[in-house]
Amino acid sequence: MHPEHTSVAIVGAGPAGLLLARLLHRAGVDTVVLESRDRAYVERRQRAGILEQPTVDALRAAGAGARLDREGIEHDGIELRFGRRAHRVDFPALTGGRRVTVYAQTEVVKDLVALQLAEGGPLLFEAEVREVTGADTARPVVHYRHEGREHTLTCDYVVGCDGFHGVVRNAVPDAVRSTYERVYPYSWLGILAEAPPVYDELIYAHSERGFALASMRSPSVSRLYLQVPNGTDPADWPNERIWDELDARFALDAEPGRRLQRGPVTAKSVLPMRSHVTEPMRYGHVLLAGDAAHIVPPTGAKGLNLAAADVIVLARALAARYRDGATGLLDAYSDTCLRRVWRAEHFSYFMTTTLHTDPGQSAFDTRLQLAQLERVANSTHAAAELAENYTGLPIPD
């Protein structure tokens, strides 16, 4: 129940930690996963729902693709709305056949938790990691509390998949750690509603009233977002006000009076918007992955997918280390991932700043946004750039 040593200690049982554990299990590398929350909380934590093709491929390769293939909804594009007009970006036509899949993070986590408990190494819920010591030694130690008792776990490597507020990144000394951050002057008010999506694909809307996004979780559940000021209290937005504002921001001259399908709102929350990168992603025998190393605004649908890319690269590197003692991939882990991270940061920044309206934004700034959206609508090259980034850039092999 409480092993004293493992090859790789993974802190955090979100998609990144669980996928890494699964990939390493398949490569014959021992792991222990420690998660501070209980299983119910982890499996119902609402986050992203758009999977890039490389993420889907990795889940299938890990043996976690059966329900994804049955219930996931493939999307061949997105719709951009601006100036009360609509333009569709056709992903397969612009990328040589790539697409994305709608499958909620909650379902990814449920699938990976079930596999880990059935076949993998120990997965301890409600195991609070207090500290990681010896990061720059060959035997780092994870200190954690579980079931009312203090425990230690020695390992060859510690991987921090415990998010932005996790403790593993604190094992990297401030003297060698650089952080880069941007905080945006708006947030998203998001709802889950028991209402069938009216549209077949995601809609990103730029309007004078602010940004809006129509997404989905299933054929009967809609996921919808509104741009709101920072500090917004969800209680100030009754359901009817939310639906009316969504209809106003999605309005098209070609579809006067068309409304979203309305239904019971089952969840409502406000999501702040920020970009954040921590460098390097490795210090000694401690490695960071996912939100522990980087945050992106959700506009580009990159958060879960960047985390998956990190652990795919890391799993290959650790497998090579234990298979034949080769450390080249492991030594290159941080640089390899950061090149892709910064590309995703730029794309997420582009989508966010092009589609949202800053408080006090001038008419000149708005015209620049509309000019950029017009270019995407009328230039194959600009549309292809968006489509290639949205569907996912290749993961370095």
Residues that are catalytic: 75, 204, 298, 302, 390
What distance lies between CA 126 and its chain's CA centroid? 23
What pairs with residue 189 in β-bridges? Answer: 226, 270
What does the alpha-carbon distance between residue 13 and residue 20 come to, in Å, rounded to a whole number?
A: 10
Going from the C-alpha of 4 to that of each of 33, 249, 284, 337, the distances in angstroms are 13, 56, 21, 30
Q: What is the DSSP letter of 127?
A: E
What does the alpha-carbon distance between residue 374 and residue 371 come to, in Å, rounded to a whole number?
A: 5
- Report whether the peptide linkage leading into residue 280 is cis, meaning its omega lies within 30 degrees of zero: yes
Query: Of 298, 310, 394, 377, which is closest to residue 345 (Cα–Cα)?
Result: 298
Question: Token pair 């950061």 is at which residue?
Answer: 338
Q: What is the DSSP letter of 63?
A: T
Q: Where are the alpha helices (DSSP H) in 167-267?
A: 239-250
SS3 43: helix
